[in-house]
């Protein structure tokens, strides 16, 4: 399981940990009832403050994305089945693209048009 | 996020001052480190970081002010504090140069009832400490490893780590920082990490203090610091000057091409954005800074910054 943390990103690190766990669930790398790495393991692996991870896991638990079993660990919960997570991921990708476009002075409509063209030349390579 | 009172500081100083002849090392430092906090003490060379840590252990006597650690007044109970502290000094042990590393650790273990022999052996293996080498013959990095074993193996409630990774090669740095993250997850020790390499520890720490010429110019939880500092990309006429209320918040000015200007300012983002709009300039974007960048900017700033 590989979590990507970016210290230059505008999000607090505990939110990044939450987002990463959700992303890994959404792409199927983590399945329902899989165990998340322990706080200690993840702290060592990513050199994170343990309280950051505790906070991320706690918030994920509150959201119902994971559940904790005392003395055993934290596990991925059953998906809610609404596809809400994929929707949220899509929203994030869109937001990033729009921000980037804005920074380069590209209007949203021009971006959509260019995306359409690029998708066509991709020829359905990525389905 | 919660309304709970923050825990009482595990380490705090009041008006701590220390001079060496005419050199001022510390000038009225009020440090506060929360219990279980991982506190980054940042500063340039000679800013007073090592002196501050040494005062906390009472191996250095302050000229004025008071220091408390783990509930002890360090001037009265220095030995009590030292017994409960893992300390990695900036410069390695000058004494015992003739002693072999293994003998040194055995001697060291005798001072600490809580010394965990199994954990010590684990650390020795992990850090590849050469137990049969004499301390005086060790490279800087090797001596560092011995110090790290000595500091961690009794799992003390307080860690004072002065330039922890100094002298270590890049691989060993990674290993030591991972080891520290794991150790902190296990023990929850209150930790002060002094370093000028902020990038190396920015995900590990949760509080920041910036020392500049012996003065603590900023001190805050890392998230608050990051929440209060922004880089504002502004479109303004070349003749534009910031109104005084805005100017007072500006820590750094980066002039770009043409009408483009970037200001790094402290304070509430919405208020700053409003002040920019009121002054006739146009705000293009406000972006967060990384912790390394924030610390660097605070180090260059002359003023004291309150992030309360």
Per-residue confidence band for B6, with pLDDT thresholds at 50, 70 and 90: low
Give the closest-approach CA distance of B188 to chain A in angstroms: 8
Q: Higher pLDDT residue, B213 or A124?
A: B213
Question: With contacts defined as CB-CB under 8 Å, which chain B residues touch A46?
Answer: 181, 203
Is B223 in the A-facing interface, judged by CB distances under 8 Å?
yes
The secondary structure of B154-200 as a DSSP string is T--SEEEEESTTTT--HHHHHHHHHHHHHHHHHH--EEEEEES-HHH
- State the best of A43, A52, A54 to mutate against chain B, taking most chain B CBs within 10 Å: A43
Radius of gyration of chain A (CA): 18
Q: Which residues pair with A69 in a beta bridge?
A: A73
Considering only the beta carbons, identify the residue of A10, A40, A48 that sits closest to B203.
Answer: A48
Q: What is the pLDDT of residue A126?
A: 52
This complex has an ipTM of: 0.83
Residue A52 has pLDDT above 80, yes or no: yes
Per-residue confidence band for B194, with pLDDT thresholds at 50, 70 and 90: very high
Q: What is the pLDDT of residue B94?
A: 64
Average pLDDT, chain B: 91
- Residue A10 per-residue DSSP state: S
Considering only the beta carbons, identify the residue of B185, B285, B290 that sits closest to A50.
Answer: B185
CA–CA distance, B215 with B224 (Å, rounded to integer): 20
- Residue B253 per-residue DSSP state: E
Looking at A118-127, B157-166, B229-238, which range is the least confident one?
A118-127
Q: What is the pLDDT of residue A30?
A: 92
The secondary structure of B192-212 as a DSSP string is EEEES-HHHHTTT-SEEEEEE
End-to-end, the C-alpha distance of chain B in Å comes to 15
The overall longest dimension of chain A from CA atoms, in Å, is 54
Considering only the beta carbons, identify the residue of A7, A10, A51 that sits closest to B206.
Answer: A51
Considering only the beta carbons, identify the residue of A39, A40, A49 that sits closest to B203.
Answer: A49
Question: With contacts defined as CB-CB under 8 Å, which chain A residues touch B199?
Answer: 7
Q: What is the pLDDT of residue B96?
A: 80
> What percent of chain B shows pLDDT beyond 90?
77
Mean pLDDT along residues B34-38: 95
Residue A48 has pLDDT above 60, yes or no: yes
Q: What is the pLDDT of residue B2?
A: 47
Q: What is the pLDDT of residue B1?
A: 46
Contact B181 A103 (CB under 8 A): no
Residue B90 has pLDDT above 60, yes or no: yes
Is B185 in the A-facing interface, judged by CB distances under 8 Å?
yes
At A18 the three-state DSSP class reads helix
Comparing CA positions, the residue from B150, B157, B99 lying closest to residue B124 is B150
CA–CA distance, A103 with B250 (Å, rounded to integer): 23
> Taking a C-beta distance cutoff of 8 angstroms, is the pair B64, B29 a contact?
no
Question: With contacts defined as CB-CB under 8 Å, which chain A residues touch B38?
Answer: 49
Mean pLDDT along residues B38-60: 93
What are the pLDDT digits (tens) for A53-84?
A: 999 999 999 989 999 998 899 999 987 766 77
> Taking a C-beta distance cutoff of 8 angstroms, is the pair B205, B39 a contact?
yes
Mean pLDDT along residues B230-248: 90
Name the helix (H) or strand (E) containing A95.
helix A84-103
Instruction: Enumerate residues 6+ apart whose C-beta is below 8 A from A46.
Output: A3, A5, B181, B203
Per-residue confidence band for B5, with pLDDT thresholds at 50, 70 and 90: low
Helical ranges in chain B per DSSP H? 49-56, 78-83, 101-109, 117-126, 140-152, 170-187, 198-201, 222-228, 244-247, 269-278, 291-300
Q: CB neighbours (10 Å) of residue B255?
A: 10
Supply B90's token pair: 């900036």
What are the pLDDT digits (tens) for A5-45?
A: 888 787 889 999 999 999 898 888 999 999 999 999 999 99
Is B179 in the A-facing interface, judged by CB distances under 8 Å?
yes
What are the pLDDT digits (tens) for B101-144?
A: 999 999 999 999 999 999 999 999 999 999 999 998 988 899 99
Question: With contacts defined as CB-CB under 8 Å, which chain A residues touch B178?
Answer: 44-45, 47
Q: Name the closest residue on chain B to residue A45, using Cα atoms.
A: B178
Q: What is the pLDDT of residue A3?
A: 87
Residue B145 has pLDDT above 70, yes or no: yes
Instruction: Enumerate residues 6+ apart whose C-beta is below 8 A from B132.
Output: B100, B101, B102
pTM across the whole model = 0.87
Mean pLDDT along residues B211-223: 93
Q: CB neighbours (10 Å) of residue A61?
A: 15
Supply A18's token pair: 């939450």
CA–CA distance, B289 with B132 (Å, rounded to integer): 47
Question: With contacts defined as CB-CB under 8 Å, which chain B residues touch A16?
Answer: none
């Amino acid at each position: 399981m590989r979590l990507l943390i970016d210290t230059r990103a505008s999000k607090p690190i505990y939110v990044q940990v939450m987002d990463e766990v959700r992303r890994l669930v959404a792409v199927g790398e983590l399945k329902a009832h899989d165990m998340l790495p322990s706080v200690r393991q993840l702290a060592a692996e990513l050199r994170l403050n343990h309280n950051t991870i505790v906070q991320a896991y706690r918030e994920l638990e509150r959201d119902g994305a994971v559940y904790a079993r005392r003395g055993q660990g934290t596990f991925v919960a059953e998906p809610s089945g609404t596809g809400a997570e994929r929707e949220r991921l899509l929203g994030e990708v869109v937001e990033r693209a729009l921000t980037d476009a804005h920074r380069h002075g590209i209007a949203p409509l021009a971006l959509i048009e260019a995306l359409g063209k690029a998708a066509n030349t991709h020829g359905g390579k990525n389905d | 996020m919660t309304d709970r009172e923050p825990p009482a500081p595990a380490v705090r100083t009041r008006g701590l001052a220390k001079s060496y002849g005419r050199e001022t090392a510390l000038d009225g430092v009020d440090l506060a480190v929360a219990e279980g906090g991982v506190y980054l003490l940042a500063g340039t060379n000679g800013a007073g970081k090592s002196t501050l840590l040494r005062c906390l252990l009472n191996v250095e006597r302050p000229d004025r002010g008071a220091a408390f650690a783990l509930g002890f007044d360090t001037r009265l109970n220095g030995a009590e504090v030292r017994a409960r502290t893992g300390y990695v000094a900036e410069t390695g042990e000058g004494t015992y140069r003739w002693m072999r590393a293994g003998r040194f650790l055995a001697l060291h273990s005798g001072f600490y009832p809580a010394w965990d022999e199994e954990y010590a052996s684990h650390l020795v293996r992990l850090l590849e400490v050469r137990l049969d080498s004499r301390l005086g013959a060790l490279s800087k990095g090797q001596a560092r490893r011995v110090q790290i074993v000595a500091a961690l193996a009794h799992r003390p409630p307080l860690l004072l780590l002065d330039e922890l990774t100094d002298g270590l090669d890049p691989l060993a740095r990674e290993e030591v920082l991972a080891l520290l993250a794991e150790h902190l997850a296990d023990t929850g020790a209150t930790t002060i990490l002094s370093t000028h390499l902020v990038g190396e520890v920015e995900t590990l720490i949760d509080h920041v203090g910036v020392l500049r010429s012996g003065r603590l110019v900023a001190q805050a939880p890392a998230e608050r610091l990051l929440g209060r500092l922004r880089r504002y990309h502004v479109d303004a006429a070349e003749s534009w000057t910031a109104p005084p209320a805005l100017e007072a918040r500006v820590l750094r000015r980066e002039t770009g091409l043409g009408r483009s200007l970037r200001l790094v300012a402290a304070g509430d983002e919405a208020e700053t954005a409003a002040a920019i709009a009121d002054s006739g300039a146009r705000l293009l974007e406000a972006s967060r800074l990384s912790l390394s960048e924030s610390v660097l900017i605070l180090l260059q700033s002359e003023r004291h910054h309150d992030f309360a």
